[in-house]
Amino acid sequence: MGYLAEFWLFVSRLATVTGLLVRALVSFRDRPAVRFRLFFERAGGGFIKLGQILALRYDLLPSHYTEELLKLLSRIEPQPFADLEQVFIEELGERPATFFRKFNPNPIASASISQVYRATLHSGEEVAVKIKRPGIDYVFATDFALASFLAGFIGLLQIFHSINLDELVAEFIIWTKRELDFKFEAENAEVLREHSRRHPNTIIPKTYLDLSTSRVLITEYMSGIERLDEVIRKLDRNPNLKTDLLHHYRIDLSQMAYYFIVDGMRQYFIDGFFHADPHPANVFLAPDNRLGYFDFGIMGQVDSRRLELLKIVNGIANHNLQAVSEAFLAYSKRQMSEEIELFRRYRRSDHAKYERILSKIEEIIIANFREELEYILAPWYEELTEEGKEFKSSAAAIFSKLLLKAESYSVYVPREMAIFFRSLIIADMVALKLDPQFKMIKAFKLFFQEFPLERAATIIEEKSHERELEGEIDPISALDYEQLVEFKAIERERLAAATERLSELVLYYAEHYEEIRKML
């Protein structure tokens, strides 16, 4: 597509989307939440995907908005098969009949990026064939630019004070670009499948890598399953569904609610590689209490820093808030370790004094943070003391308060950790649908029954050591003279930044605590 065509596509989409946005803002025909959903539905393209992401942001939007936006997960109109068949031919060189004994042209699923068809290989294996919608790359590229433009414009108008639209749109673009490449998704699926081999209650469909491309993905067809979004919808209409699933398929929804959380924690903490988009349409239940996943475009990968979070979760599970406070502090110190080490290296005459001051500041932080944690986590602990009562305390509210409180102590979690918290929030909302008496603390305890802290910590450390050995280099020996001069200049800049950050920290506590002032 030429630059002129791209420009006109952008202008045309801008006019369409802006008109729909204005209509959603000024119309009074429907409830605000319905108008919000209709905007994304009518805008189509990348905006449907953005609406689907917002449907899972329980930490940003009221529940009646997220409930309405969840309808976007299953309301995408399919395109004619002839359009999708052309994409298949362009990718694999032949019509589907060449590769399959049977191919049903009626889609079994239709999403904003692709459509899925059921087929049978000549070997007799049943497969699902996922084909990207034609021209969707151009549409999404235009919508990425358009969403960024609108986010900046709305930000100037200050319509949504509590939502960082630029950050939200940037995240939407990063993740959706990954989803647009099916090769990337196929590789993710195989990694997760390998990690899950030792866990028979977790199902990851097999991927046929030799038949898959960036626009066509062929996976094992899963029969006899119940997609979670369908289960949740049926539960609202049929109060006997829970009993029916248990009797006919040996699926205990209460047990599956807990397994859903425990398995997500296993992926994050034990494997360091996790499904970061576990919304109900991407998860299914199978007979004999098994749980599986679809769509592996949005995955998270984490390093050994997850060990600090593991200790935090363990402290929460055991109501050991002293340990939680110390783990948060250890994480904060790890974030500032480079600054502290630089300060020690170049400010040797001062560092003993600052060591004493920083040690005192640590004591203050732990004492204060422990009290605040007791208040934040109180709803979860109250649930444990009143078995059978439906509290429905929101993990979104508790995790959001926890992260905000950590930030007030200069503890900023990395992006992958924030994504994990968000995944837990999504899983918590799903678990509460499956079992209204679900308790997050109980799920934490079940995880540590399977993976005690010491065992999990050993696994994390061993895997981290293996990665370090694979990537180990000597950063200095590889530098020439000019690079050494540049390296020295960078060191000076880092020292200045380290000194400034440590000074700000000490100054803050000196202003609020007399004992720190006296030590200075």
Q: Would you please indicate which residues are annotated as catalytic (active-site) residues?
A: 277
E strands of 135-238, at which residues? 202-203, 216-220, 226-227
In one-letter notation, the amino acid at residue 458 is T
Q: State the Cα–Cα distance between residues 468 and 474, nearest whole angstrom.
A: 12
124 phi/psi in degrees, rounded to 5: 100, -5
Any alpha helices (H) in 386-452, and if so which ranges? 395-408, 415-434, 440-450
Identify the bridge partners of residue 207 per DSSP, sorted by sequence position. Answer: 219
The CA distances from residue 371 to 46, 186, 368, 465, in Å, are: 44, 46, 5, 36
CA–CA gap between residue 147 and residue 14 (Å, rounded): 9
Q: 256 near 309, Cβ under 8 Å?
A: no
| Cβ-count burial 357-396 (b if 16+ within 10 Å, e if not) | bbeebbeebbeebbebbeebbebbeebeeeeeeebebbbb
Structure tokens at 121: 């290989």
Residue written as tokens 């953005």? 50
What order of strands is seen across the sheet that includes strand 290-293?
202-203, 290-293, 283-286, 226-227
d(CA 84, CA 216): 10
CA dihedral 27, 33, 35, 41 (to 10 degrees): 170
The terminus-to-terminus CA distance of the chain in angstroms comes to: 65
Task: Determine phi and psi for 319, rounding to 5 degrees.
Answer: 55, 35
Angle at 273 between CA 451 and CA 165, to 5 degrees: 120
Residues 6+ apart with CB under 8 A from 363: none
**Closest Cα partner for 282 from 213, 188, 349?**
188
